Amino acid sequence: MNGNARKIERGHPPGTCPVDRAADGTWQIRGYAQARALLRSDRTVQAGLGIETVEKLPPKVRRPVLYRDGPEHREHRRQTARFLTPRRVDERYRDLMADLADEQLAKLRAAGEAELSDLSFNMAIGVVCEVIGLTESRPGIRGRLERFFPEKFGRPGLTSVRGIYWLFRLNTNWLRFHLADVRPAVRARRREPRDDLISHLLAEGCSAAEILGECLTFSAAGMVTTREFICVAAWHLFTDEELMERYQRADEPERLAVLRELVRLEPAVARLRRRTTAALELPGRNGPVTVPEGALIDVFVDAANADAEAVGDGPLTVCPGRPVEAALSFGDGPHRCPGAGIAILETDIFLTRLLALDGGVRMTGTPRVSLKDEIGGYEIRGLTVATGRTAS
């Protein structure tokens, strides 16, 4: 198997050095075994993702789970794991996903054509809000989230007009999301606790600001990345007739295998950063490589996911059922994404209903891809779908 089926190119081809050091001193990992060993190590902590700003918070303020490490992080993950177990996802969220998908596809049928990123984002918002407990939001949550996660970010600061603008915008967006989404949910759960994340955080004694931070973390991880993966998976299906036929005639386990292969090929987050807290030895091609204490490390997930030694021949082709399904697309180790199962099932439920529309559905727009370098992420816009197999 040869060729390159990827829709998203980030410039990290497979077969390059699995561990090396950049000119700026940052260590870079592109090998699967090396990346997995690093992510599973207890000698690293989170880096990047705005952690420098979080570290400036007063010590008494509890950090969102994304920014914690060690025993405190493990305990939080242990307590919240019940919200995303396979059984709970199947029993509690499957019907919700189906209803949300049908609601979005009704809009497509009525309009005849729609942008897939809009439909998928509305779907993802509905699912994640149920998991978190953001069910008392005022109208307009999508617009507030769009402003919080724009296509292009600026760097907040006080030394330039542009920096001041982005600082004002960031704080304004925090306030809007808090007042319109988080505060109503918190008030409702103070009166009557429920079986969701916000109720759990209240029981833990978290403040409103701390709950806001957790809600934004889950929103970014569950809403934004799922929207993009639904779009890229649909793009693959619409442009690969054989894969489309296989997906449509498959039962659910095989469809999920197809999606896990696509997320391996097109990870929604392809750059993870860690900092070592002690010297760390990683396997290298010519023997062990020692990364010193205090080193900043970039893990290029897209390159690691295309490591033929781990995933097999033709690492850039679509081949469901590989020995390492999904590879490192959801991370690994203590910070592995707990919502991997819900994201894959949500994507499958949406796509199976989309592709089963009466009269068929086709891709009409030319997708436009932009990259977010800080996380190696992608945004797909302009991918429109229309009902009917041929243009009218």
Residue 297 lies in a domain: yes
Residue 154 carries which side chain, given as an amino acid letter? G
Q: Which pLDDT score, from 0 to 100, does residue 329 have? A: 96
Q: In the numeric block, which tokens belong to residue 209?
A: 């600001």
Q: Is 301 exposed, middle or buried (0-12, 13-18, 19+ CB in 10 A)?
A: buried
Task: Please compute the mean of the pLDDT values over residues 206-220 and round it to a whole number.
Answer: 86
Distance, CA of 111 to CA of 105 (rounded, Å): 10
Q: Which pLDDT score, from 0 to 100, does residue 60 have? A: 60
Distance, CA of 321 to CA of 71 (rounded, Å): 35
Residue 58 lies in a domain: yes
Residue 329 lies in a domain: yes
Q: Which pLDDT score, from 0 to 100, does residue 241 have? A: 95
Q: Which pLDDT score, from 0 to 100, does residue 35 have? A: 96
Query: pTM for the full model?
Result: 0.91
> Which are the contacts of 151, defined by CB distance < 8 A and separation ≥ 6?
370, 379, 381
Distance, CA of 263 to CA of 1 (rounded, Å): 19
| pLDDT tens-digit map of 63-119 | 777 778 888 888 888 888 888 899 999 999 999 999 999 999 999 999 999 999 999
Q: Lowest mean pLDDT: which of 34-43, 206-215, 268-277, 357-366?
A: 206-215
Q: How many residues does the chain have?
A: 392
Q: Lowest mean pLDDT: which of 160-169, 254-263, 365-374?
A: 160-169
Give the number of other CB atoms < 10 A from CB of residue 127.
25
**Confidence band for 391, pLDDT divided at 50, 70 and 90:** very low
Residue 1 lies in a domain: no
Distance, CA of 134 to CA of 144 (rounded, Å): 13
Q: Which pLDDT score, from 0 to 100, does residue 389 have? A: 57
Pick the closest to residue 263 from 205, 187, 194, 346 (CA basis).
Answer: 346
**In the sheet where 271-276 sits, what is the strand order?**
19-21, 27-29, 296-300, 271-276, 44-46
Residue 13 lies in a domain: no
What's the whole-number average pLDDT of the chain? 88
Q: In the numeric block, which tokens belong to residue 234?
A: 């649909």
Q: Strand pairing partners for 345?
A: none
Residue 237 lies in a domain: yes
Residue 179 lies in a domain: yes
Assess contact for 185 and 138: CB atoms under 8 A: no
> Which are the contacts of 193, defined by CB distance < 8 A and separation ≥ 6?
199, 202, 203
Phi-psi bin for 263: left (phi > 0), alpha (psi -120 to 50), beta?
alpha
Is residue 153's pLDDT more than 90? no
Tally the domains of the chain. Answer: 1
**Confidence band for 392, pLDDT divided at 50, 70 and 90:** very low
Q: Which domain holds residue 64?
A: 19-387
CATH of the domain at 283: 1.10.630.10
Q: Lowest mean pLDDT: which of 58-67, 131-140, 295-304, 363-372?
A: 58-67
CA 58 vs. chain centroid, Å, equals 28
Beta strands 296-300 and 271-276 are antiparallel
CA 276 vs. chain centroid, Å, equals 24
Q: Lowest mean pLDDT: which of 4-8, 21-25, 61-65?
A: 61-65
Residue 137 lies in a domain: yes
**Confidence band for 2, pLDDT divided at 50, 70 and 90:** low
Q: Which pLDDT score, from 0 to 100, does residue 365 have? A: 86
Q: Which pLDDT score, from 0 to 100, does residue 198 have? A: 95
DSSP string for residues in 136-151:
SPPS-HHHHHHHHS-S
Q: Which pLDDT score, from 0 to 100, does residue 275 have? A: 94
**Confidence band for 164, pLDDT divided at 50, 70 and 90:** low
| Greatest mean pLDDT range, 22-26, 144-148, 243-247 | 243-247
Q: Which pLDDT score, from 0 to 100, does residue 75 have? A: 86
